[in-house]
Every structure is written in structure tokens, then in C-alpha cells.
Amino acid sequence: MIQQLCYYCSQYQKIIPDYPLNPGTKFTDPITPRCELHFQFKCDSCGIKKHFSGVGWCQDCNRYTCVGCADELMIQERFLIYEYYYSIPCSGCGKHLPALDFAEIALQHPIQFGEFRPSTEFVLWIPTGSVPTGNPFPRSAELIPKGSLPLRLDTALDSVDVWDKIAPTWVEDRLNQPDLNHRYIIIPEVLKLLGVNNGEKVLDFACGEGNIARILAKQGVLVTGIDPSKMIDYAIELEKEDNFGIEYLKSDSLDSFLENTFDKAVCNMAFMDIPLIEPIMAEIHRVLKPEGILVFSITHPCFNIPVLNPVKFPWDSERNEDRVYMVDNYYNSQPSIYEYNGKKLQYFHRTISQYTKYCVNAGFSIEAIEEPTLSDERLIKNNPRDLYLEFSRIAKFMVFSVRKKLIK
């Protein structure tokens, strides 16, 4: 049998001719065999084995710490086939450590101190002088193993029931640790397009736990939030404490509102969770004043579940550049389900043209369609695994601003 060589050793040798080719005896997938040096290391805090690019080793504590147990930083420095490395604080003493991919060339790797001994025959590389760098190696789509796509459904689940079940977990997560995408990308774009003025009456449709409603109320807006699920129960309880003057209604119907009631309306990240949005758009159009604006945000129809299948190569890598995006079944409108913290969430995929058609059919004119991105380099460096390369390669969200036509 032909002995397979380590995937990383092979890539490194392309730019360092004397880099040893160690046997690939460890596998996480069929196409990236790896040697023990370039495989996984067990974190001493959580006990989980992680990809070597996401683990640091402290010589003083003789302790491994992974990126899942500490707030890593991104250090931009070209080395080998990389453009950066993670600096990980030791869970024992707090000292910042380079991840093991960089530690190998910095002579800070445990194997170089005799603290890590491979169980198989192994040739150790010791860098001397400056280490050459090369371009990040290309990923070949033909070699990428397929990930798991969300399950498509023939019959949709009851949307309100789905959100009732997930509400406690969802709200706790959002209140304890606000989502970076919402805080820095989606909400700023929604607020910019909405452009509210003090004293305006704004409808927050599918308001959930009331995040947008509270932000608008703080700006002097008269907000009415409506939602049929248990999510709104949390918004109602928070309003009792905050007393922002927000009116909440637990319903999915706008029948109780007269025509031309609201100056503006917003629906933040909800239309893709609702099975039928055409009648909702028509009702929002009815309750808006002439020239009133509706702003709604959604996950991007082209680059999100269920049409987007992100896979990593190797699958356990902690580096975002190792993620490959594959898009398929864009025109399949079957509802899909996916898991969030052990609970089922349902998603109703629609094409961009369907969204625009629904807006026009409801009587709106389209003012703007934005695909917000993130350019805050400091924020990216402080949250590299969440944000690095996540918004420079694909658009993850889409925000529409539509206006109720003035009937002459």
C-alpha cells in the first residue's frame, strides 16, 4: 500500500524544499491525511482535541489552551502559507501564546522542547534563518468533501410553534451576548435606511424580543411591536422595567389597525421565518401612510441556508480561509429546517426576484437594496474566527427599503 504523506508537510515543502515529508497517519477526512504535528491537540481546559492552528502551548505552565476557551487575537504576519496567526491567552497564567502553526517557526512548539513526542516515526524540522513565505494554497472544488445541507420539508412546520419552543434559549443568548452580525452589520443598515424622526409612529412587525423596538423608542419614536410567538412575552416583560412607551400586541394580524396609521414600518430578520409574506406586505402597505417606508432585512437568498453549503478543508480547521462555499438548489422553494442549540428552526427560502415581485405587487416602489458588510478592522482582529473573511467573500444579509406609492 502506498504511504500517504501529511497534507500540511506537502504544502510547506512547496515553499521550503528541505521541509520533511512526514507520513499522514491521522485523518479527519479522506483527502487531508496529516502527521501528528499537524493534527489535533487536546486543550487542558475543555478536554477537546482541536486543530493545531487553534491551540497554543505555554512552556511555563506546560499547558494547552484552545481558541474555544479564550478570547484569541489575530496577529497579521505572513509565514509559510498563511497571512496571520492566532494569539491565545494561556488559561493558566494568561500569557499570550502563538497558535501551534506559528509556534513551529518561532521555535516555541512543544515538540521542540521535548514536551510532545509523536508515537510514529517522525522527522523534526528546525527552522534556521528567515522562513520563506508563499501564497495561501488554492482549494480545488473537486476535492472538497460535501457538507451536510439542511433537511428540506414537504410540509412546513407551524412557525409560531417553532419559535415558541426556541424562545427561551434564543432570548437568553441575545440578552447575555448580543449577536455581532445584528449589532455591527444588520441593525446599523436597517436604522440608516429607516431614517426615523422624533415623534414618528413606527410599526415593528415580527418584533420578537423587542430589540429593534427598544432601539427606536430610545430615539423618540412611538413604536408598536407585533409578534404571534412567545418571543414577544419577553419584550412585554422588559417594557414593564424600561417603560419606553412601546405598545406590544401578541398577534400575526394587522386587522386592528386603520389605514394610514404608521409613518414607517420595519421587519428585521423575520420574513424568511414566515411561510406566506405576500399578504403581510399588503397589510403593511395598507397601514402605512402615503409615502411611508418599509425597511426589512433578511438573510441573503444567494449565500445562506439552505442554498449555501459551507465546508472546511480540512473540516476541523480553525482558519476561515479554509472554508469553501458551495451554492446549489437556488430555485428550490421547499421549507428547510436546521438546528439551533438542539432546537429546530425553520427557513423559507425565496429568490431575490420573488422578494422584489412581492414588494411591487403589494404597491411598493423599491428605493434601495443593500448588502451590508463589515469594514471595522479592529473588530475583525478581536473576533477573527467570527468575522475574518466572512464579509469580504460573500454577502450574508440583504436589506430592502420600499416606499408606499402616492396615489394621485
Whether residue 210 is contained in a domain is answered as yes
Between the CA of residue 108 and those of 138, 190, 223, what are the distances in Å?
28, 47, 57
Q: Residues 158, 160, 161, 166: is their CA dihedral positive or negative?
A: positive
Is residue 296 one of the residues assigned to a domain? yes
What pLDDT was estimated at residue 2? 61
CA–CA distance, 44 with 70 (Å, rounded to integer)? 12
**331 falls within a domain:** yes
Domain stops at, among 87, 111, 138: 138
Q: How far apart are CA 387 and CA 376, in angstroms?
A: 10
Do residues 156 and 272 both lie within one domain?
A: yes
Total domains present in the chain = 2
Q: What is the pLDDT of residues 212-267, one digit of tens each?
A: 999 999 999 999 999 999 999 999 999 999 999 999 999 999 999 999 999 999 99
Do 207 and 129 reside in the same domain of the chain?
no
129 and 186 part of one domain: no
Q: Decide which of 175 and 206 is more confident.
A: 206
pTM, two decimal places: 0.79
Question: Helix (H, G, I), strand (E, B), or coil: what is residue 9?
Answer: helix
- Residue 377: what pLDDT? 81
Same domain, yes or no: 95 and 193:
no
Q: Domain residues for 127?
A: 7-138
The helix (H) or strand (E) run that includes residue 84 is: strand 82-89
Is the pLDDT confidence value at 59 over 70? yes
Choosing from 92, 107, 138, the residue where a domain stops is: 138
* Cell digits of residue 378: 479592529
- Domain end point (choices 107, 138, 169): 138
Kindly state whether residues 155 and 94 are assigned to the same domain: no
Q: In one letter, which amino acid is 355?
A: Y
Residues 122 and 185 in one domain: no
The answer, yes or no, to whether residue 408 has pLDDT greater than 60, is no
**In this structure, is residue 333 part of a structural domain?**
yes
Q: Is residue 146 part of a domain?
A: no
Q: Residue 130's closest CA among 189, 78, 191?
A: 78
- CATH code of the domain in which 208 resides: 3.40.50.150
Q: Are residues 113 and 238 in the same domain?
A: no
Residues 323 and 263 in one domain: yes
Confidence bin at 146 (pLDDT 50/70/90): very low
How confident is the model at residue 301, as a pLDDT? Answer: 96
Q: What is the pLDDT of residue 401?
A: 98
Condensed to tens digits (0 to 9), the pLDDT of residues 339-379 reads 877 788 899 999 999 999 999 999 999 999 999 998 788 88
Query: Are residues 210 and 124 located together in one domain of the fold?
Result: no
133 pLDDT band, cuts 50/70/90, is: confident
Whether omega for the bond prior to residue 306 falls within 30 degrees of 0, making it cis, is yes
pLDDT at 135: 62
Q: What are phi and psi of 34, to 5 degrees?
A: -135, 150
- Residue 264 belongs to a domain: yes
Looking at residue 34, what DSSP letter applies?
B
Nearest of 235, 218, 226, 236 to residue 171 by alpha carbon: 235
Q: What is the pLDDT of residue 141?
A: 42
Residue 337 falls inside a structural domain: yes
pLDDT confidence tier of residue 73, bands split at 50, 70 and 90: very high
Paired strand residues for 400: 296, 369
Q: Is the dihedral of CA 27, 28, 34, 37 positive or negative?
A: negative
Cell of 241: 422595567
Question: What is the predicted pLDDT for the residue at 368?
Answer: 97
State pLDDT tens for residues 38-58: 999 999 999 999 999 999 999
352 and 283 share one domain: yes
Report the distance separating Cα 189 and Cα 267, nearest Å: 13
CA–CA separation, 40 and 244 (whole Å): 51
Q: Are residues 111 and 217 in the same domain?
A: no
Within a domain: 2: no
| Residues 230 and 285 reside in one and the same domain | yes
Centroid of chain to Cα 78: 26
94 contact partners, CB below 8 Å, separation of at least 6: none
How many Cα neighbours within 13 Å face the side chain of 85? 23
